[in-house]
Amino acid sequence: MDLVEVLRSSVPYCLVVALPLLILISPVPVDAAAEFTVYRLQHRSSLVNVEARSVDASSVARRCVLARLADLTSTHYQRVVSQGAAALLILLPTNLTAFSEDQCQLVHEVEAAMLEADSQLAVYMAYETQELLDMYESVRTATNTDGATSAAAAMMSSLSTDGYQIVVGGSQSKLMADMTIANVQGKLSGYGVEEQLPTIAIVAHYDAFGAAPELSWGADSNGSGVVILLELARIFSRLYASPRTHPRLNLAFLLSGGGYINYQGSKRFLEDHLDASDSPLLSETHYTLCLDTLGSDNALRLHVSKRPKENSPGYYFFQALEEAGAAAGVTVEMVHRKINLQEDTQAWEHEKYSMRRLPAFTLSRLPNVDITALTRNTALVATALLRHIYNTSVDGIFDNGLAVTKKSVKSWLDLLTSQPRSPQLLSGKNNPLVSTLQQILSRYTNEARVTFLKADKRDPEWAFYDVTRATMAAYAVKPAAFDFLLTMAILAYLGVIYVFLQYFPKIYAMMVKLASPHKSKVH
């Protein structure tokens, strides 16, 4: 009994103080209807907290525009920019390869427009999920009610449909201060005195580029070139290991970085090896073979900036390639394009080498990745190189592990497409992909090493932004009119209760009257 007394006198006092305090210090909620990862564009990015609208809404100013990639055209994009939308969220279908040729064309146009026009618009991309599609449908139907006939109709429709508030948090993207680009190089030394032997350099840039860095997988451009280079390194490492097949020729392999920012990797490589006199690697090159985008198609083009003279090694290689191509049913043609020295950027990687008076050409197909075609192209290049180096048709050599197999090509390709390869994602000293590439090259070649280059501090040739992905949250919201409507309803409800309580004595008396006949029955 004492205990009860103590509790009665003490418990309510402290709880009356503690409970409101507890409630007040509870954190502000952050629950959302949907949270998903969005990918930022190369340059633009800002944090947004705006309402969602569909692309065909009448006004999108200071709103987030939701659009499916298939529905988006560059005209739409320009309209969105000119109306001053705050953000654009593009829903990417999970299966992009199902797009038709025309749709691909449209997508390329939109991508170009996005990379070109510099505006305050924040563009995000996200893969379609059921959640996102539901949201998109809801936003589209809600948009149509903008033109409702009366305010009451709009209010009623707001009861049934949801609007969405789009919030992108995280940190503001900044210019990356110390971005590095890595070159991975390796060498196979020929038989004899290394310095006196001619060299063939094989170059492929390993980065990829797209409107959104996180989505730059680049299996074909230039994953395919890297695959061929790695496969060549594998094959030639075996040939160089055997004394019988050790040729009097050096092979240099370069996986250059920054291929999409005017071949910065190649530029640095040339500066290192031509301007520095102690490096004999490029002192006497037969030619430089740049591999770019060889994933599919039945025609190969050898892009040159200066036609190779007859009897030059480059000419022999072209001939060998033509012969090998004819055997495999692939047409090989030479495309000549003079370097425009007025231009700041070079169209092809070989132009960097040609500008330094090194014979060079880019092998490319031009107009997704087809493994079969890639395997065939790899075999083709390998055969042509073998024919040129050993000056003989060596068809029987492709066995016991020397053959270009689909399996090994696929494994290289899987490695390269395991992560997006936009330059800013490959930055850093310990990037896993770069170190993997280095390990592979050091397995097959000698003196494999990685060199890092940085942009000039005062006059940078490239600039990239960090924070390539963010988390976007979509909150289901109702318009302010809805809140007002709700307040009205609640006030009416409370009014009814008030009236009920005011008249309760009368109701009570009425109930007593009603009950009294029952009373006589009970008793």
Closest CA to 466 of 259, 167, 179: 179
3-state secondary structure (DSSP) of residue 463 = coil
Among 119, 165, 405, 417, binds other proteins (CB under 8 A): 165
Residues 173, 44: Cα–Cα separation, whole Å: 8
Distance CA 454, CA 181 (A): 7
- The reply to whether 501 sits near other proteins by the rule CB under 8 A is yes
Q: Residue 490, interface with other proteins (CB under 8 A)?
A: yes
Q: Provide, rounded to whole angstroms, the least separation between the CB of residue 138 and other proteins.
A: 12
Does 104 participate in binding other proteins (rule CB under 8 A)?
no
CB closer to other proteins out of 112 and 489: 489
What is the closest distance, in whole angstroms, from the C-beta atom of residue 12 to other proteins in the complex?
Answer: 4
Using an 8 Å Cβ cutoff, are 206 and 263 in contact? no
Beta carbon of residue 473, minimum distance to other proteins (angstroms, whole number) = 8
**Burial class, 173, CB count within 10 angstroms (exposed 0-12 / middle 13-18 / buried 19+):** buried
What's the Rg (C-alpha) of the chain? 34
In angstroms, the CA 194 to CA 280 distance is 9
Supply 514's token pair. Answer: 């009603």
168 is a site residue for other proteins (CB under 8 A)? no
The minimum distance between CB 513 and other proteins, in angstroms, equals 10
Residue 504 touches other proteins, criterion: CB under 8 A = yes
Query: Cα–Cα distance between 287 and 479 in angstroms, integer?
Result: 68
Q: Does 519 bind other proteins (CB under 8 A)?
A: yes
Nearer to other proteins, 463 or 488 (CB): 488
| Segment contacting other proteins by CB under 8 A, of 253-261, 419-427, 430-438, 495-503 | 495-503
* Torsions phi, psi for 230 (to 5 deg): -65, -40
- Binding segment for other proteins (CB under 8 A), chosen from 159-167, 321-329, 355-363, 439-447, is 159-167
**Per CB under 8 A, 506 contacts other proteins:** no
Give yes or no for residue 156 binding other proteins (CB under 8 A).
no
Please tell me whether residue 6 binds other proteins under the rule CB under 8 A: no
Interactions with other proteins, residue window 20-39 (CB under 8 A) = 23, 26-33
Please state the closest distance from residue 490 (CB atom) to other proteins, in A: 5
Our finding on whether 153 is near other proteins (CB under 8 A) is no
Q: Among 251, 231, 254, which residue's Cα sits nearest to residue 378?
A: 231
Q: With contacts defined by CB under 8 A, how many residues of the chain interact with other proteins?
A: 44
Instruction: Give DSSP secondary structure letters for 343-400.
Output: SSS-SSHHHHHHHTT--EEEEE------HHHHHHHHHHHHHHHHHHHHSS--GGGS-T
CB closer to other proteins out of 70 and 476:
476
Longest dimension (CA), the chain: 129
Q: Which stretch binds other proteins (CB under 8 A): 183-191, 211-219, 283-291, 476-484?
A: 476-484
Give ∠ CA 203-207-211 in degrees, rounded to 5.
140
Whichever of 50 and 433 has its CB closer to other proteins, that residue is 50
Q: H or E stretch including 268?
A: helix 264-270
Secondary structure tally for the chain: helices H, strands E: 14, 15
Query: For other proteins, which stretch binds (CB under 8 A), given 82-90, 269-277, 278-286, 490-498?
Result: 490-498
Q: Interface with other proteins includes 15 (CB under 8 A)?
A: yes
- Give min distance, CB of 7 to other proteins, in A: 6
**Cα–Cα distance measured from residue 258 to residue 449, given in angstroms and rounded to the nearest whole number:** 17
Q: Is residue 478 part of the contact set for other proteins (CB under 8 A)?
A: yes
Output 38 or 254, the one with its CB closest to other proteins.
38
For other proteins, the closer of residues 145 and 451 by Cβ is 145
**For other proteins, which residue of 154, 371, 477, 481 counts as binding (CB under 8 A)?**
477
Q: Which is nearer to other proteins, 392 or 500 (CB)?
A: 500
Alpha-carbon distance of 236 to 350, in angstroms, equals 22
Residue span binding other proteins (CB under 8 A) among the ranges 209-217, 223-231, 370-378, 497-505: 497-505
Helix-, strand-, coil-residue percentages of the chain, each rounded to 5: 45, 20, 35
If binding is defined by CB under 8 A, does position 157 make contact with other proteins?
no
* φ, ψ (nearest 5 deg) of residue 104: -60, -40
* Binding footprint of other proteins on the chain (CB under 8 A): 7-8, 11-12, 15-16, 19, 23, 26-33, 162, 165, 167, 475-478, 483, 486-487, 490-491, 493-494, 497-498, 501-502, 504, 508, 511-512, 515-516, 518-519, 522-523
